[in-house]
Amino acid sequence: MGFPLDVLRTERDLADWRASLPPDILHFVPTMGALHAGHLQLIQRAAADRWWGEPRVLVSVFVNPLQFGVHEDFDRYPRRLEEDASLAAAAGAQALFAPAVSDIYPRGVAGITHVVPPASLQTTLCGLGRPGHFEGVATVVARLLAMARPRRLFLGEKDWQQLVVLRQVVRDLGLPVVIEAMASVRRPDGLALSSRLAYLQPEELRRATALPAALNQAATSARQGLPVEFLLATLRTSLDHHGLLPEYVALVDGHTLQPVERPQGLTLLAAAVHCGSTRLIDHLFLMSRAPIVAIDGPAGAGKSTVTRALARRLNLTYLDTGAMYRALAWWVLRQGVNPEDPTAVEPLLADLALELSQDQEGLLRLRLNGQDISTAIRAPEVTAVVSAVAAHPCVRNTLTAQQRRLGERGGLVAEGRDTGTAVFPDAECKIFLTATVAERARRRALDLRRQGFAVSELAELERQIAERDRRDSTRSVAPLRQAADAVVLVTDGMGIEAVLEALVDAFRARVPEEAWPGLSGAGA
């Protein structure tokens, strides 16, 4: 019927198409069809994601019976394959997978192995009114992923609970795919786009706009510190008042989806309502401050370069805590004080007026008592003493307190030895960036060679690096430790772009675009 892209009807079609592609370039956007601007933005994002070369984008259109309850809208769910194919192609997709139920469930819906997400995620919010729904979603997505084997899976933040569930499924089953999620797309009147808006009559559409409006109002009350019971009761009343029947209103932790007493960290304010016979959901996020990313890891793992780039990408401020220790070390030398002697160093802390700023390239500028010392702190004589200065507990305490003050309003990517463990234990995203000793020795040799220095044998460099790791992780003050909730990234064999991509993914797994847009977007 003249589709503007490859339409794959069966598992066989998909397998043949998949086999014709180079490995690792497939991006996948699963949908139930009736594509709207929210889906199209996902497809456009997938098509623009070129870090790994020209991608191929596969969109699936499958109204999955397993995720509908008996009295739900499976039969009347909008089905418009031809229109979807044109829209998907125009947005940049190369293929549309539109299988029959018998392709996805060859032994029938009752004969398929189910993927069962944890009860805690299924028995909250939409799970309460839609038992089995998330099991149906997890099962079909696992099945589709196994068939398509994409590199990245694109999902909307609109269905936040679904996203949380699928992230957990991918993590728990070790599925080899990275999830990339995008903010909800809203109409000018505030309504979040959803295929189900197609059910609404014009008058119902008007009424439905009270959902985002009431959520916004409740969020304002939450920010003013009004008690949760009060703001949820007011939210219910307001929805009722506009003829929207609330199924639930809730304030929950953004990741565990469990109720909270007050907004803390990433908090989700969510509601489901019935507008006539149509069920609608919406939510918004509350954050008590801008996000903090803490990047720890051993020396020589390439933290500085990628941390700076990450800060730029996410529109956060780069905080190099090591530079602050260097600034003090420089001051210690300037004052002619013995760097090893804490009693001599301590008095210098009292009037340490350190100012940090960022230049246009995102490079940190440091001023101490009015003087720009950004370059001076990199001198070899500072390098030689900074470890000794930074090991004094009085120094650690003072500078940690200063760093925490800088982080009070958040908005930082902080790099250092103990940022995730001691300085910002409540950072939204913690990364332990490391590389094997052999890899770090190789990089160090390259670096030294580039700077024109004589290079020792690789084995000798490896020995030095291993010894420094041992000292760093066993020292009594601020040892190098990995925070329990850190994402570990071993950068062996990865270029800067690949590391940056992995860092953005780790950040986005903790901080949705809706809560912190940053510069968002692949390659942005």
* CB-nearer residue toward ligand PAF: 144 or 323: 144
Kindly write out the interface string for residues 163-202 of this chain, putting x where it contacts ligand PAF by CB under 6 A and - elsewhere. ----------------------------------------
Contacting ligand PAF (CB under 6 A), which of 49, 84, 159, 415? 159
Residue 32 found at the interface with ligand PAF (CB under 6 A): yes
Helix (H, G, I), strand (E, B) or coil at 284: strand
* CB-nearer residue toward ligand PAF: 179 or 366: 179
Helix (H, G, I), strand (E, B) or coil at 447: helix
* CB-nearer residue toward ligand PAF: 411 or 512: 512
Q: 291, 369, 362, 355: which is closest to 324 by C-alpha?
A: 355
Of the residues 27, 36, 39, 392, only one is catalytic, namely 39
Q: How far is the CB of 498 from ligand PAF (least distance, A)?
A: 27
Burial of residue 490, with CB atoms counted within 10 A of its CB: 0-12 exposed, 13-18 middle, 19 or more buried: middle
Q: Which residue has the tokens 């991918």?
A: 170
Give the count of residues interacting with ligand PAF (CB under 6 A). Answer: 10
CA-to-CA distance for 482 and 64, rounded, in angstroms? 42
Q: How many CB atoms lie within 10 A of CB 346?
A: 15
Contact in structure between 496 and 443 (CB atoms under 8 Å):
no
Contacting ligand PAF (CB under 6 A), which of 5, 6, 30, 249? 30
CA-to-CA distance for 441 and 443, rounded, in angstroms? 5
CA-to-CA distance for 337 and 47, rounded, in angstroms? 59
* Footprint (CB under 6 A) of ligand PAF, residues 258-317: none
Q: Which residue has the tokens 């569930």?
A: 165
Contacting ligand PAF (CB under 6 A), which of 137, 231, 272, 389? 137
* CB-nearer residue toward ligand PAF: 162 or 491: 162
Q: Which stretch binds ligand PAF (CB under 6 A): 30-38, 78-86, 364-372, 490-498?
A: 30-38
Q: How far is the CB of 284 from ligand PAF (least distance, A)?
A: 19
CA-to-CA distance for 463 and 446, rounded, in angstroms? 17
CA-to-CA distance for 25 and 150, rounded, in angstroms? 7
Q: Which stretch binds ligand PAF (CB under 6 A): 11-19, 25-33, 254-262, 393-401?
A: 25-33
Residue 140 found at the interface with ligand PAF (CB under 6 A): yes
114 tagged catalytic: no
Q: How far is the CB of 35 from ligand PAF (least distance, A)?
A: 10
Instruction: Select the residue whose beta carbon is closest to ligand PAF and give its number.
Output: 30
Residue 254 found at the interface with ligand PAF (CB under 6 A): no
Element (H, E) at 141: helix 133-148
Identify residue 290 by its one-letter amino acid code. Answer: A
* CB-nearer residue toward ligand PAF: 77 or 330: 77
Q: Where are the beta strands (DSSP E) in 192-332?
A: 245-253, 266-275, 278-287, 292-296, 317-320
Contacting ligand PAF (CB under 6 A), which of 41, 44, 64, 139? 64
CA-to-CA distance for 322 and 393, rounded, in angstroms? 15
Q: Which residues contact 375 (CB under 8 A, 6 or more apart)?
A: none
State the Cα torsion 370-374-378-384 to the nearest 10°: 30
Q: How far is the CB of 133 from ligand PAF (least distance, A)?
A: 9
* CB-nearer residue toward ligand PAF: 60 or 400: 60
* CB-nearer residue toward ligand PAF: 65 or 479: 65
Q: How far is the CB of 518 from ligand PAF (least distance, A)?
A: 24
Contacting ligand PAF (CB under 6 A), which of 57, 141, 228, 235? 141
Radius of gyration of the chain (CA): 27
Contacting ligand PAF (CB under 6 A), which of 7, 26, 27, 31? 31
Sign of CA dihedral 135, 139, 144, 150: positive
Contact in structure between 158 and 184 (CB atoms under 8 Å):
yes
Q: What angle do CA 314, 320, 321 make, to 5 degrees?
A: 130
Residue 368 found at the interface with ligand PAF (CB under 6 A): no
* CB-nearer residue toward ligand PAF: 278 or 307: 278
Distances in whole angstroms, Cα of residue 414 to Cα of each of 296, 322, 329 = 9, 10, 20
Q: Which stretch binds ligand PAF (CB under 6 A): 20-28, 29-37, 439-447, 513-521?
A: 29-37
Q: Which stretch binds ligand PAF (CB under 6 A): 70-78, 135-143, 251-259, 402-410?
A: 135-143
Question: Would you tell me which residues interact with ligand PAF (CB under 6 A)?
Answer: 30-32, 64, 67, 137, 140-141, 159, 162
Catalytic residue annotation: 39
